[in-house]
Copies of this chain bind each other. A is one copy, B any other.
Amino acid sequence: MDTFVLVHGSWHDGAAWDATIRALEEDGQTAFAPTIAGHGKGVNKHVNHADCTKSIVDYIVAKGITGFVLVGHSFGGTVISKVVEAIPDRVKRLVFVNGFVLRDGHSLSDEAPPHYGALFDKLASESTDDTVMIPFPIWREAFVNDADLEMAKWTYAQLSPEPYQPIKDKLDLKKFYSLPMPKSYINCTEDTAMPHGDWNWHPRMSSRLGLYRLVQMPGSHEVIYTNPKGLAAKIIEAGRD
């Protein structure tokens, strides 16, 4: 049995993992899902990427969690890459779930297609607090393409605006790329949040991990909602020794 720390992606908070955690626990696993600083409804959104990382490190240290599998979904991939630099000895393996694996010195913005960059710049500049809310049509077609309309609306209602600064912060990842940590990548085969083709998650992001374990499952970027039991099974498969 393993222990997992699950780090959510943009617009989400820790509660996005609720159903996945139930499935993990039914299998006898242990799982934690902290909320990243600046994320969730009704909180201060003025954070940078270092604040995001620190909030997860602080959670892990305060809880005294060790020997665990560190899982990052989407934007959460950038967070676990920095968390593991801070506390490498506590982490047994990294698992990216269609997560960003940034090149050293890059920001998430540097790795997203230009049409997203232009849209997010505009949305952030129109917000009062430098945040970006994903428009529902993009969410429905490209993020939860495997949901029916009712579930698409329900999941959208769980989201909150994403602080833009962590998306723009360029990250020093030299230590990350030097760590001998085992790594896995879960790719959902219908995930078009990053468009298939030149901008795909896999193998564009995954191959940067060097030697890694590939695990795939059907589904969209948001199997966290549309197939949490399936996701839990794949996290176990990706996380085991």
> Which chain A residues (210-229) contact chain B, with CB distance < 8 Å?
211-216, 218
B196 contacts A214, C-beta separation under 8 Å: yes
In the complex, the count of this chain's copies comes to 3
B141 contacts A212, C-beta separation under 8 Å: yes
Q: What range describes how many residues of A lie at the interface?
A: 20 to 34
Given A149-B241, A211-B137, A241-B149, do A216 and B196 touch, yes or no (CB 8 Å)? no
Q: Which residue of B lies closest to A145 (CB)?
A: B213
> Which chain A residues (141-199) contact chain B, with CB distance < 8 Å?
141-142, 145-146, 148-149, 182, 189-190, 192, 195-197
A81 close to B (CB within 8 Å): no
Bound form: Cα–Cα A204–B198 in Å: 10
CB contacts (< 8 Å) of A140 on chain B: these are 213
A197 contacts B203, C-beta separation under 8 Å: yes
Given A203-B197, A216-B218, do A146 and B211 touch, yes or no (CB 8 Å)? no
A202 close to B (CB within 8 Å): yes
B240 contacts A141, C-beta separation under 8 Å: no
Q: A138-B211, A142-B212, A196-B214 are in contact. List 20 more A-B contacts (CB 8 A).
A: A137-B211, A140-B213, A141-B182, A141-B213, A142-B211, A142-B213, A145-B214, A145-B215, A148-B240, A149-B240, A149-B241, A189-B216, A190-B214, A192-B214, A195-B203, A195-B207, A196-B203, A197-B203, A197-B204, A197-B207
A-B pairs with beta carbons under 8 Å apart, 28 shown: A137-B211, A138-B211, A140-B213, A141-B211, A141-B212, A141-B213, A142-B211, A142-B212, A145-B213, A145-B214, A145-B215, A146-B215, A146-B237, A149-B240, A149-B241, A189-B216, A190-B215, A190-B216, A192-B214, A195-B203, A196-B202, A196-B203, A196-B206, A196-B207, A197-B203, A197-B204, A197-B207, A216-B218
